[in-house]
Every structure is written in C-alpha cells, then in structure tokens.
C-alpha cells in the first residue's frame, strides 16, 4: 500500500540520504564488519551533509527541521543497508540530540552541539549496567558531590558508539535514599581522568557497531557538565524514551521490509524440482502473509511517527509499537532465512546477517517483556 505520511520535501531528503548511503557506506561495509566499528570519516561526511543535526537549532549548527518524519526517513535508509548503521547513527542524532537540546544550558549547547552536528563529536548514552538491564531505576553507578562538581564511579555495558564516543550521557545515582528520584544525568567527555573504555563486545549480530563497556573510576565531572536538573535524571530519561522506541520501530520494519523484498526476488529466481521455489503453494502463501503483515506493521509505525511528530505519542503507545515491530521483524527475517534454504545460513548472504542483527531488537530499548508489562499496567492489570 502507498504510504501517505511523507511530502515532496521528505522524498527529496530521502534521495539525499540514499545517495549518502550508497556513496559513503555501502562500499565500505566489509571494512566496518572487519573493524567492528564505523570510522570517523563517515561521521564527518554525515555531518557535512546535515544528517546529524536534524533536531538541533540552526544557531548551534543543526537544521532544526522540527519534523520527526525526517528523522524517520534517515533511519529507514540506513536500515536498508544495515541495522547497525541505524543503531549507531540513531543513538547520536535521534536519541542523544533531544537530551542535549532540551536539557542543556546555553553554555553547554554552545560547547557541544556544533561539533555534535559536524560529526567531530560522536555521542553515546550510558544507561544500561551489567546488573540492571532494562531496570533503569536500579542503576548502581554513583556520583558523589564534591567541590566544584561530582565524583563518578561505576560501569556501563552494551553501549552503542561506546568505543569511540566523545560525549557520553551517563545516568548516575546522586541520592541513594530516593530510589528513582535520586538519579542525575552527566555528560562525560573523552579525556576525563578515570574514564576508560572496555573491549569491543563480541556480539551475535550488528558486528559493525562499536559496542563496548565503559568504566568510571573517580571521574571528576564539573558542575557545568550536569545535564538537566539534579535528581531528576530518571524523569528526563522517561520523557525521552518514547522517541527512542518509535525510532527503534522505524528501523525494525524498514530493515525487515528491505530483506523481504530481496527474498521475494530470490525465490522468483531460485529453482527446485524444475520450478521457482516461490511458486510452490506453501511458499507463495507464506510470502503473501509476510508482505501483508509488513504492510500492516508499516501502517502502524507510520501512525506512531505522525503521533510523535505531533507530540501525542504516549509512553504506552511507544511501548506497543516497539515490541510489535520487533516481533514482526524477527518473524519476517526468520522466514526469509528459511526461504533461502542453506544459503540463508551463510554469512555472505545479506539475509543471514540481517537475521542475526535483528535478534537484539526484542531486547534493547526496553525488552519486549518490559513493554508488555507497561501496557498491562496501563490496562489496570
């Protein structure tokens, strides 16, 4: 079905995003896989093209488009190439940007945002801890008040862009007696004494994304690196998780739809018993179901994109679209692997990589089980 949420400006932007992906990313994917990270050159090129400052006002180097549909378009084009690309860039321009723009002081925005938009600074978000997972209120990283600032101790894990980030938005406990109401956000910068990166984590999928552990040992963070209000960090995070989750949904269905389209072409050409495997009734019916389910999910995600753009997407609705899109994505890709037969299990085939890359989407940005818990609570259960 034809999508109706985009206008000519969005279509022109999509063409630019696709051209960037085709020129700067696609030819280098094997290198990124081997190095398990994206290099600085692709970030600088993305900044030069204006893709990193979509949510940043013009006075700080961004484009201040004020339209979330542009964010969604860029995420879709990245996801068509690789889920890892959407993960890395998304954390930066779609997740971290609202924190810096909405919560930053004028001095902080002048200090960080121009290089954030140019790609000279790469951002990460340090929330998840080794013992906490999706339970953000239970984090153990602490910050103790001292003269002129805070002393940070603790660790984070599964941090996308953690291997190269220049700015890390870190959630830390500043008042152990207040539970979720005693958490504060800090911006930790590259080069701060006591801030160290662990190894690049060896993941099942999304090999291109530089995911790592982060360690903080008596890191002095000056008062002017506090982001937002002291002890309101949990609220700040909750207020911005809807964008992270709808962004995940956008990427989920874009990746699945792309690989499904490639699989359809494959089953038209691949022959068994003298005929294309796609012509067998079971496979034909399966593909028909997958295409329909993808289009239904796309319509649901599109509705969420518009709702978020109009500032009416609730946290519960964001949870719904996040878990549903992840579930459908994994169902589609599992079937695509099966339709490829033995070749679907070979890493040289995009379908195999996409299948591995997608598995994490049912876990991150709040596991699907946590999403259902939120929905159930909202229903009074």
What positions carry a catalytic annotation?
244
Residues 6 or more apart whose Cβ sits within 8 Å of residue 193: 218, 219, 220
Give 7's Cβ-side CA count (13 Å radius).
Answer: 4
Buried b (16+ CB within 10 A) or exposed e, 296-310: ebbebbbebbbbbbe
Contact 56, 101 (CB under 8 A): yes
Element (H, E) at 150: strand 149-160
Report which of 213, 237, 101, 114 is spatially closest to residue 158, judged by C-alpha positions: 213
Q: How far apart are CA 359 and CA 330, in angstroms?
A: 7
Q: How far apart are CA 10 and CA 343, in angstroms?
A: 36
**SS3 state of residue 115:** helix
Which tokens go with 99? 């924190």
Q: For the chain, give the longest Cα–Cα distance.
A: 78
* Alpha helices (H) along the chain: 8-20, 29-35, 40-48, 68-81, 83-89, 97-103, 106-118, 233-269, 281-309, 315-340, 350-358, 368-378
User: Which value, to the nearest 10 degrees, does the dihedral of the CA atoms of residues 118, 119, 121, 122 take?
Assistant: 140
Contact 250, 72 (CB under 8 A): yes
């Amino acid at each position: 079905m034809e999508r109706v949420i985009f206008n000519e400006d969005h279509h022109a932007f999509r063409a630019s995003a696709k051209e960037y992906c085709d020129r700067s990313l696609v030819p280098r994917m094997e290198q990124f896989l081997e190095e398990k990270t994206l290099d600085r050159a692709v970030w600088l090129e993305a900044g030069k093209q204006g893709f990193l400052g979509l949510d940043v006002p013009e006075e700080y180097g961004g484009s201040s488009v004020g339209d979330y549909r542009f964010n969604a378009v860029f995420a879709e084009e990245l996801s068509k190439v690789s889920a890892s690309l959407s993960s890395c860039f998304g954390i930066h321009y779609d997740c971290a940007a609202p924190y810096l723009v909405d919560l930053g002081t004028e001095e902080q925005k002048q200090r960080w945002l121009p290089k954030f938009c140019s790609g000279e600074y790469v951002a990460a978000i340090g929330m998840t801890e080794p013992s906490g997972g999706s339970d953000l209120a239970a984090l153990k990283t602490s910050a103790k008040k001292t003269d002129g600032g805070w002393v940070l101790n603790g660790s984070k894990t599964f941090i996308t862009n953690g291997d190269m980030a220049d700015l890390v938005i870190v959630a830390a406990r500043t008042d152990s007696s207040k539970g979720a109401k005693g958490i504060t956000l800090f911006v930790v910068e590259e080069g701060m004494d006591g801030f160290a990166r662990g190894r690049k984590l060896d993941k099942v999928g999304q090999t291109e994304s530089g995911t790592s552990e982060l360690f903080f040992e008596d890191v002095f963070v000056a008062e002017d690196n506090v982001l937002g209000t002291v002890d309101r960090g949990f609220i700040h995070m909750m207020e911005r998780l809807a964008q992270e989750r709808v962004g995940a949904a956008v990427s989920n269905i874009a990746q699945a739809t792309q690989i499904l389209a490639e699989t359809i072409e494959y089953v038209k050409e691949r022959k068994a018993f003298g005929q294309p495997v796609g012509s067998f009734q079971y496979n034909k019916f399966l593909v028909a179901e997958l295409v329909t389910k993808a289009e239904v999910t796309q319509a649901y995600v599109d509705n969420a994109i518009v709702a978020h753009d109009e500032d009416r997407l609730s946290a519960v609705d964001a949870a719904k679209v996040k878990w549903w899109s992840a579930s459908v994505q994994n169902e589609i890709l599992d079937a695509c692997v099966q339709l490829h037969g033995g070749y679907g299990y070979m890493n040289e085939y995009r379908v195999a990589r996409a299948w591995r890359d997608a598995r994490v989407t049912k876990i991150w940005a709040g596991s699907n089980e946590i999403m259902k818990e939120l929905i159930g609570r909202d229903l009074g259960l």
